[in-house]
Amino acid sequence: MPTWHPFFLYLFQVLCSFLNRKDRNFRIFKDYVVFSLFNNSYFEKMKLEDTYFAHETAVLDAGCSIGAQTKIWHFSHIMSNAVIGADCNIGQNVVVSPEVVLGNNVKVQNNVSIYTGVTCEDDVFLGPSMVFTNICNPRSAIVRKTQYKTTKVCKGASICANATVICGNTIGAYALVGAGAVVTKEVLPYALVVGNPSRQIGWVSEYGHRLDFGNSGEATCPESQETYVLQANRVQKL
C-alpha cells in the first residue's frame, strides 16, 4: 500500500466531507477510492462513520455513541457519553445530554431537550417541544448535579407535543401522554393520560387506539385486530 503524506490525507477528507453534503451518492465513489488507495482498516473506519447521518449544523461531541441508520437534523447537539440506538430520528434543535440513553427506533421531534437521567427504550416517540426535567427544586445558585432524578420511558410509549414529564417517574410501555399534559406520577403501561396534573382517562393499544373493555374485560384494536384483556387495573395483550 502507498504511504500518503498527512496533509494530502487531510485534503482528501475535507473534499469527501464537502461532497458528501452535496451529493450523498458520492459516498460510493469515496469508498471505492479509499479501498483502492488506503488499507482495509482505514476503509472500515470510514464505513463506520457513514452508518448514520448528521446534518452539517449538528454538533456531535466526542464520546457520544450513535447507532446505524440514525438521522440527526439541523442545530441538534449530542453531548459526550450520550447513547443513541439504531434507526432513530433526532429532529431539529434537539439536545441530548450526557449519560442519556435512547434505544432503537426512537423518534424525537423538534425542540426537545433530553436531560441527564432520562432513559428511553425502543420505539419511543417524543413529540414537538415536550419537556423533561431532572431536578424537582431547581435553583440557579444551588448546584445539584449529583441529585439528578431518573426518568424512564418504556418501550413503545408516546409523549405528545408540549407535554411535561416531572423527573423521577416512569412512563409505562405503550402508554400515551396527551398533548400539554403534565406528568407528576407513574403512568401505567397502555394508559392514556391527559391534563395538568395528568390523569388517566382510558387505555390504548400498541397502535395508539382507544380500547373499550366494556363489561367483558376484553377489547380489540381496530387497526391491528389484536386482543387485550384488563385485569386488576392492568392491561395485557393476548
Report pLDDT for 7: 57
Are residue 186 and residue 115 in the same domain, yes or no? yes
Instruction: Answer whether residue 125 shows pLDDT above 60.
Output: yes
When pLDDT is averaged across residues 139-143 and rounded to a whole number, the result is 95
pLDDT digits (tens, 9 = 90+) for 60-75: 999 999 999 999 999 9
Residues 91 and 142 in one domain: yes
Residues 108 and 34 in one domain: no
| Its pTM surpasses 0.75 | yes
Confidence of residue 8 (pLDDT cuts 50, 70, 90): low
Domain of residue 197 covers: 52-237
Let me know how many helices (H) and strands (E) the chain has, helices first: 3, 25
110 shares a domain with 88: yes
Q: Give the span between the Cα atoms of 106 and 127, in whole angstroms.
A: 11
Residues 115 and 184 in one domain: yes
Q: Which of 213, 214, 186, 182 minimizes the C-alpha distance to 198?
A: 182
Q: What is the CATH number of the domain that holds 150?
A: 2.160.10.10
pLDDT per position as a tens digit, 198-224: 999 999 999 999 999 988 999 999 999
- Total domain count, the chain: 2
Q: Are residues 103 and 142 in the same domain?
A: yes
Same domain, 18 and 99: no
Largest CA distance in the chain: 77
What is the per-residue pLDDT across 22-43, written as a single tens digit (0 to 9) for each?
Answer: 444 444 444 444 444 444 444 4
Provide the pLDDT for residue 17: 56
Closest by CA to 108, choosing from 159, 145, 164, is 159
- What's phi and psi for 84, nearest 5 deg? -120, 130
Question: Cell numbers 465513489 correspond to what residue?
Answer: 29
pLDDT number for residue 180: 98
Share of the chain above pLDDT 70, in %: 79
- Residue 6 is predicted with a pLDDT of 57
